[in-house]
Chains A and B, each alone.
Chain A
Amino acid sequence: MSCSQTQAKLTRGEALDEAERDHALACSECGALAASWATLDATLAELDPCVPEGFADRVMAKIGREVEQRRGDEARAPRPRWYERRWAGVLLSSAAALVAILNVARFVACVLVPVRSFGGAP
């Protein structure tokens, strides 16, 4: 067990295994380092604030107000007219596409296909 190995673990804040703990207890340098890290960790833990009483209630009250407001806004929002609805949009675009296809077919039939093929007069 080497000092550098133990000290590297201590510095990274990792837990020491049994052999490393024994080494830290026997070696004055590693022991001092372990003590200083322990003091640092304890001091940091002392800085931990408590959660203020009723904190979750206050958060949930705010969220409740937001949800209520959102639902109120949704209820107050004007109902869409029939042509603003999604199904109306889909229906109108389909009808427009169908008319366009029929027009193209009519154009092909009247202009591009030779008149004679239909048996008309030359």
Chain B
Amino acid sequence: MEDAALVRSILEGQEDLFRVIVVRYERALFRFLGRFGFTPAAREDLAQETFLRAFRALASFDAARGSLASWLFTIARNLAADERGRTRHQPAVAALDAAPEARSEGDGPAELHERAEVRERIRCALAGLPDALHSTFVLAEIGDLSLKEIAAIEGCALGTVKSRVHRAREQLRAALGATEKSR
């Protein structure tokens, strides 16, 4: 069932169908929130709040003005930006959120340590990106939105989105380069 039809059915009283929307977008939403370096608890709270706000305001969703995905990610982006501003001065909290180790056979302690170090550098570089660059890059990274949709969410021109993504990627690669040089 398409998003617009789903929304119509939910508004007509089939609230249980909202689960389809949750299941459809939860993975992308967690990927998006994961790039902000929030703790798992904060991430879940933000994801829940995103869906709850979307449910409460579902009647105001207009499929003619944009996709449900961009509408949902606009809510998530605003919530994440507020949370990022609130926890900006708590680097220790963000560092607690270690991603599960991507382990492959034959990885020794040295390789695991090396990869953990690279991850940490990228995480720090991501956290250090300016707000506009960070948010645009993360929206582009999750891959569920077109650049045009990202431009609508960010309220900027398509060219600005492209240049922000480019700059963010360059900064992250520079952070990666620093890791390689330090070896």
A interface list, Cβ under 8 A from B: 11-13, 36-37, 39-40, 43-52, 55-56, 58-60, 62-64, 66-67
Contact = CB atoms under 8 A, between A and B. Distances in A.
Contact of A62 (B34, B52, B115): B52
Contacts of B177: 36
Interface residues of B, number: 42
Given A44-B122, A46-B99, A49-B34, A63 B166 contact: no
A59 B176 contact: no
A43 B48 contact: no
Interface of B: 15-16, 18-19, 22-23, 26-27, 30-31, 33-35, 40, 43-44, 47-48, 51-52, 55-56, 99-100, 102, 115, 118-119, 122-123, 126, 141, 162, 165-166, 169-170, 172-173, 176-177, 180
Contacts, number: 94
A66 B33 CA distance: 25
Nearest to A67: B15
B134 to A, nearest CB: 13
A46 B103 CA distance: 10
Contacts of A58: 48
A54 B170 CA distance: 37
Interface of chain B, main secondary structure: helix
Contact of A59 (B30, B51, B119, B169): B51
Contact of B31 (A39, A43, A49, A52): A49
10 contacts: A12-B162, A37-B169, A47-B34, A47-B122, A48-B31, A49-B31, A49-B34, A52-B44, A55-B47, A56-B22
Contacts of A55: 22, 26, 44, 47-48
Contacts of B40: 49, 52
